[in-house]
Structure 1
Amino acid sequence: MANSPLTIRPVNGKADTRDFIELAYRLNRGDPHWVPPLRSEVAAAISPKKNGWFSHAEAQLFLAESDGRTVGRISAHIDRLALEMPAEQGFGPGTGFWGLFEAEDADTAHALIAAAESWLRGKGMTRALGPVSLSIWEEPGLLVQGHDHAPMVMMGHHKREYQAWIETAGYHCVKRLLTYDLNVIQPFPPLVQRIVEMGEKSDRIRIRKVDKSRFEEEAAIILAILNDAWADNWGFVPLTPPEIDDVGKKLKPIVFEDLIRIAELDGEPVAFMITLPDLNEAIKPLHGNLLPFGWAKLLLWLRRGKADGMRVPLMGVVKRLQGSRMASQLAFMMIEYIRRIAVEKFDAKRGEIGWVLEDNQGMVAIADVIESKINRVYHIYAKTL
C-alpha cells in the first residue's frame, strides 16, 4: 500500500515527464514477460510535438505521489475525431478516455482514475473509456488473459491486479479484443489451400508485394483501403496523414516488402495485409535503452532479417466486398503467401493475428479456419461520468 498522504497532480515539466516514463520500468521490472519499450519511443508518444495524434487530440498526464515517491500514473485524453463518430460505433459525443495506467496498489489506482474522470468531466465529457493509450490505433485495452508470455510488437502487457482495481472503480467491459496464435510452419488446412489455388487461376486477382521505393504512395493506398474497410467497426477513428507519417517513420526499418501484400481485383487495390517481424525479440534485452550499445544490437537484428515471431497488426478489405466469397479468398491468399515467405526467408515459427474485435465475425471465422488459437484477451472498459 502507498503511504498517506497520497497526492495526485498534473505532470509539469521535464522532471515530471521523466518520472512518468520511468515508473513503468520500476513497477514491471519483476515481470519476465514485460517488454521494456524504448524510452525514446515512449517520450515521443506523449509529446505533442512528436506524435501526430495530437493534431486532433489533447491529453493531460497525472502522477500519484506518496512520501516523495512516484507510485502511479495515468493519462486523461480527448480525441476530437472520436467525438465525431456515431455513438453506436462505441465512441461519439461526450466520450473521453484514460490510459498509460500504472499503479502500486488499489487505492492509488482508484485515485488516479478519479483524477482522470474529473479532468474529463471538466472538459464536458459524460463517459470514460479505458485503458486506451493514447490512440485506439496504438495500445488499446487491458490485458486480462495471456500474462504467461511476452506480447508481440505494439501490444500491451499489464499487471494481473489491474483488472480488479479497474472494475472496483465502477467500470464494466464494453469490448473484448483478441489475438490469435498460429504455428506458421504447419501448412494451412486443405480447404484453405484449395481456395488459394482457385484464386491463383483467376486472371482478375493479383497479390503483390509493396514497393518500399514508393513508400509514401504505397502507404496512401493502404490508408485508403483501411479507412474504408474499418469505417463501420466499433471504435473506428480515421487515421490522419500526420499519424501515418509517424507510423511510417517508426515502422519503416522493420517493413519488409515480402511481408506486406496488396490485393488487386481487376487492377484495383481492394485489400491489404501488414505483417511485422516481432521487434520485441530485439527490444526486450535492451531494457529500454539504445545507448550505449543497444542501437548496435538492434541494427544487427534488423540486418539479420530473422525472427521467430511475426505479427499481423492490420488487414482489411474494401467495404463493398466485405461478406463476399471474394473477400475471404483474397484474405486467405495474402495470409498464405506471407506465411510461406515468413518461414522460408525469415525463419519464422509462429504468427500472431490481432487485435481482432470479438464480434468481428469475418475475422474470427478466418482465424478459426486457419486453426489459430486465442492467446491474449484485452478488455476496454467504460463508465458513465
Structure 2
Amino acid sequence: MQLIEVGQDAALRTEFLQLPVRLYKNDPCWIRPLDDDIEIVFDPKRNKLFEAGGECIRWLLKDEAGQTVGRVAAFVNQKTLKAEKDQPTGGMGFFECIDDQAAAFQLLDACRDWLAQRGMEAMEGPINFGDRDRWWGLLVEGFDKEPNYGMPYTKAYYVPFFENYGFRDYFQQHTFSLAIHYDELMANGMQQKVLDRAQAILDNPEYTFEHIQKNKLPQYAADFAEIYTKAWAKILGTPDMTADKALSLMNKMKPVMEENLIWFGYHGTGESRQPVAFFIMLPELNQYFKHVNGKMDLRGKLTFLYHKLFKPTNKAFGLIFGVVPDFQGKGIESAIAIAYPSREVWGGKKHQFSALELNWIGDFNVRMIRFSKMLGGKISKRHITYRYLFDRTKEFKRHRVI
C-alpha cells in the first residue's frame, strides 16, 4: 500500500474529504462534517497554530488498485508543548480507515515516525490541530446516536486498532443526556438535595439569574471573560480570557444563538453586583447541518435557514459552564442549571427544547462529572483520547485530575 502526502494538491484534498463519505454511507447515525470545518484546520492562513510555529502533515493511503483506503494527519502544537516539557507530545487525528489492521498500523506508523523526527516522545490521538471542542477523541460508546456538532463519530472497529497498536486511555470524554423540562428533570433522577439548594439560591435576593440579550453582547462578553478567567484559565493552563476575545466568540455564535439558552448568574446589587456563573447552551447544530451534505454554499445556507426557521431542533447542547471559585459549592451550579427549565414559558410561548446533552466532560473533571450525575444526567456517549509512548518501557500516566 502507498502512503501519499496530501499537501496542497486539490484532488488529494478533495479525496481526504470524500473518503469518510464512502466509509459511512450506510451508517444512519453519521453526519457529514462541514467541508470547510475540516479544511480550515490545515490552512496556514486560517489556523493560527501555524503562525505560532506549529507543523502539520496529512496523508492518504492507497491500495494496489489505487483506491483510497485510509487517511490521517499528524501535527506538532507548540502551545501544548509548553505544558508537556517532561514528555514532548505530538498529535494525530482525522483518522479514517477500512477494516484492515495492517492499513491502520501503516497510518499510525507514519504519524509516529514523523513526530519522532521532530523530537516528540509520545503522540496523543485522535485529536484536533486546534481547540479541544472540535474533533477530539475516539468514539467508544454511543454508536447508535448522532454526534453533536464538532464531535467525532467514528467506526467501532477503530477501537481495537488503537488499543492493539499500543495506545492507552489518557482520558475519557463523557456526554451526559438529560431532560430540559422541569418535571422530567425530577422524574429522571435529579436529587432532591440538589433541587433544594438550587431553590434556596433562586429565592435569595442577593442572587439574580438572567438570560442574555443580543443587543447587550459587549456587557455579557465582559462578564464571560471575568468568570472564565477565574473559573477555568488556571485549571486548564490557558491564557486569561479578554473581553474583546469573548465578544468575538459571541459574535460568531450570534447567528445560531438563542437568548434563553445562555444564562448568567450575579451576586449583589448596584455597584457591588458581580458576575459569578455562566451556563452557555446552543441549539444542536448538527440537526441542521446534516441536511447540507457538508457544504455551506448558497444551497446549503438556504437549506440550513429553512430547517432553522420551519423545522427547529428540540435538542440543545451545553457548550461551557463555569462558576468562580469563591462561589463554588454553594448551590450556584445547580441554581443556574435549573434557571432555564424552571422558566419554561417566555412571553406566553413554551420553548422548543426538550432534550439537552452536556458535551465533552473529561473524566479528569471530577466536579463536573459528579454535578452532571446529580442533575440526573446519564452517559449517552463516550470518547477516549489515547496516548502512545514511543519509549515502551516508560511509565504511562493518565491526565491529572482537576
TM-score normalised according to structure 1 size: 0.87
> Which residue does the alignment assign to 1:317?
323
Alignment deviations for residues 358-380 of structure 1 (CA, whole Å, 9 cap, x no partner): 23221122112111111111111
1:128 corresponds to 2:123: yes
Residue 64 of structure 1 and its aligned partner are, at CA, apart by 1.5
Measure the CA separation in 2 of the matches of 1:73 and 1:290.
23
Match of 2:378 among 358, 373, 376: 373
Residue 273 of structure 1 is matched in structure 2 by: 279
Q: CA RMSD in A?
A: 2.7
Q: Is the contact between residue 125 and residue 137 of structure 2 (CA under 8 Å) also seen in structure 1?
A: yes
Structure 1 48/158 Cα, relative in aligned 2: closer, same or farther at 3 Å? same
Inter-partner Cα distance in structure 2 for 1:342 and 1:158? 36
Distance in 1 of aligned mates of 2:238 and 2:388: 20
Inter-CA distance 187–178: structure 2 relative to 1 (3 Å threshold)? closer
Quote the residue 1:262 is aligned against.
264
* 2:10 alignment partner, one of 14, 22, 29: 14
- Cα deviation for residue 14 of structure 1 reads 2.2
Contact 1:6 1:65 in 2 (8 A): yes
Alignment partners' CA distance in 2, 1:93 and 1:218: 39
Is the CA contact 2:3–2:59 (under 8 Å) kept in the aligned structure 1?
no
Q: Which structure 2 residues correspond to residues 9-158 of structure 1 after superposition, within 5 A?
A: 9-56=5-52, 57-66=54-63, 67-85=65-83, 87=84, 94-104=88-98, 105-135=100-130, 136-158=132-154
Paired residue type of 1:211: Q
C-alpha displacement of 1:217: 5.1
The Cα offsets for residues 316-360 of structure 1, whole Å up to 9 and x where unpaired, read as 1224444x32xxx22212211233457864422211112112232
Alpha-carbon distance between aligned partners in 1 of 2:86 and 2:321, rounded to the nearest angstrom? 24
**Aligned with residue 299 of structure 1, among 295, 299, 305:** 305
Contact 1:258 1:338 in 2 (8 A): yes
The corresponding residue for 1:357 is: 362
Paired with 2:194 and 2:61, the residues of 1 have a C-alpha distance of 52
Q: Which amino acid is the alignment partner of residue 360 of structure 1?
A: N
User: Judging changes above 3 Å, is the alpha-carbon distance between structure 1 residues 240 and 141 closer, same or farther for their aligned structure 2 residues?
Assistant: farther
Q: 1:175 aligns with which of 171, 184, 202?
A: 171
What do residues 255-287 of structure 1 show as CA deviations (whole Å, max 9, x unaligned)? 122111122223222221110111111111222
Give the 3-state SS of the residue equivalent to 1:230 in structure 2. helix
**Structure 2 spans left out of the alignment, 5+ residues:** 391-402
User: 2:291, 2:304 within 8 Å by CA — same for their partners in 1?
Assistant: no
CA contact (8 A) 1:170 1:383 kept: yes
Residue 283 of structure 1 is matched in structure 2 by: 289
- Count of aligned pairs between the two proteins: 372
The answer on whether the counterparts of 1:259 and 1:341 sit within 8 Å (CA) in structure 2 is no
Determine if contact 2:173/2:384 at 8 Å carries over to the other structure.
yes
5+ residue gaps, structure 1, are: none
In the superposition, relative to structure 1, how do residues 50 and 213 fare at CA in structure 2: closer, same or farther (>3 Å)?
Answer: farther
1:222 corresponds in structure 2 to: 224
Amino acid at match of 2:14: R
**Relative to structure 1, is the Cα distance of residues 93 and 230 closer, same or farther in structure 2, using a 3 angstrom cutoff?**
farther
* 2:217–2:247 contact (8 Å) kept in structure 1: no
Given the alignment of the two structures, is residue 201 of structure 1 paired with residue 195 of structure 2, yes or no?
A: no
